[in-house]
Amino acid sequence: MDEGKSGRIPPRATISDVARQAGVSIGTVSRVLNKARNVKPALQRSVLDAAAALDYRPDSFAQGMRSKKTHVIGVIVPDLRNPLSAEAAAGVEEELTQQGYSFFLANSRYERGREENILNEFARRRVDGIIAILARDQDPRTVEQLRRLPMPVVLLEREIGTEFDAVRTDQVQGTYRATRYLAALGHRRIALITVPTDNMSGRYRLQGYTEALADVGVSVSDDLVHMAGYTRDYAVNAAYAVLSRRTKPTALIVSGGMLPGVLDAMRQLNLSIPEELSLVVLGDTELAALTRPGITAIRYDWAQTGRVAARLTISRIGGSETPSERVIVPYEFILRESCRELSSDG
């Protein structure tokens, strides 16, 4: 009888079925599937072919009961609507799936109390490791909580001393490049709207911006720097404030998550790009590419940071005891039509 037509679900293949199909012992199948060393390539291929033919999938729960591992990773992000969080989570998912891991994804909404509860819940569920984009990486309570966790923690786009592995994009050099590019076009009043300095991204962006201005002999004007919030509403208000001044900036650098708010403020003020304001976004987004004119961007490969963080977490779960690692993923400069060269008279 055709089981598909009868509506019956065929029984799930077992490790015994794989051993029978490959003509080997159950122990050999287990060694191959657990990637043990010293397994002959021909034998390994035979077992893997049999497993594929039978659509065999190991029972991760049963494996976890035997090994005291859950094969689950906890992933915490501050805002799933933010391109950084979404793309990094996608990269984590891609790598973990390939490695046979599942994951819990939680959104802290930039709330310290919520973040604390999520980390406690991950510990209660005995996840094997945690990948975290923290709301703030300078909060001593967060640092102490991370130190108490019994599983490895890998930070994404955040750094806390040298205690924890950290994977990040090159925010310093990316922002430096954006600022120097605008300066080369003749701009000197260059505004910056981005996240606060209580997390790594804000600190490093401010560093790159400050260093670039210093290199062209320009002092930072406090009235051009807005780094106090995360939301779209904050971006609208910050952009409106800086762009409605009597002495306006001629150029603006903005983080990707705040770009929609900045564009809203520009529409309210009837400012055109690039005729009245040159614009560069830190973190390329679909909006930056589709807006007309297209917005010049510093592209960060956040999906790659997620993949690297996942691999590093799995390595730590496997017992790697090397010193904590710092991995920096390079940026890419994407030239579009949102910036213009200033005439000699400004």
Residues 277-334: tens digit of each pLDDT: 999 999 999 999 999 999 999 999 999 999 999 999 999 988 887 888 999 999 999 9
pLDDT-based confidence at residue 139 (cuts at 50, 70, 90): confident
Backbone φ and ψ of 283, nearest 5°: 105, 100
**How high is the pLDDT of residue 124?**
92
Average pLDDT over residues 114-132: 94
Evaluate if residue 66 carries a pLDDT over 60.
Answer: no
Evaluate if residue 37 carries a pLDDT over 80.
Answer: no
Evaluate if residue 217 carries a pLDDT over 80.
Answer: yes
**How high is the pLDDT of residue 2?**
43
Q: What span, in angstroms and rounded, lies between the C-alpha atoms of 69 and 129?
A: 10
Evaluate if residue 64 carries a pLDDT over 70.
Answer: no
Within the chain, which residue ranges are assigned CATH 3.40.50.2300?
A: 72-169+302-329, 171-300
**How high is the pLDDT of residue 94?**
95
Evaluate if residue 10 carries a pLDDT over 80.
Answer: no
**How high is the pLDDT of residue 35?**
67
Evaluate if residue 34 carries a pLDDT over 90.
Answer: no
Beta bridge partners of 282: 255, 298
**How high is the pLDDT of residue 331?**
96
Evaluate if residue 346 carries a pLDDT over 60.
Answer: no
pLDDT-based confidence at residue 199 (cuts at 50, 70, 90): confident
Across 61-65, 201-205, 243-247, the highest mean pLDDT is recorded for: 201-205
Average pLDDT over residues 8-34: 74
Average pLDDT over residues 196-221: 95
Q: Which of 11-25, 135-149, 192-206, 223-237 shows the lowest mean pLDDT across its residues?
A: 11-25
**How high is the pLDDT of residue 22?**
87
Average pLDDT over residues 110-125: 93
Identify the architecture of domain 72-169+302-329 in CATH: 3-Layer(aba) Sandwich (3.40)
Q: Which of 2-6, 78-82, 106-110, 175-179 shows the lowest mean pLDDT across its residues?
A: 2-6
| CATH superfamily, domain at 171-300 | Response regulator (3.40.50.2300)
What is the overall mean pLDDT for the chain?
88
Percentage, residues of the chain above pLDDT 70: 90
CATH number of 15-58: 1.10.260.40
Evaluate if residue 62 carries a pLDDT over 60.
Answer: no
> Tens digit of pLDDT for each residue in 171-182?
999 999 999 999
**How high is the pLDDT of residue 288?**
94
**How high is the pLDDT of residue 7?**
46
Average pLDDT over residues 33-43: 73
Within the chain, which residue ranges are assigned CATH 1.10.260.40?
A: 15-58
Burial of 167 (0-12, 13-18, 19+ CB in 10 A): buried
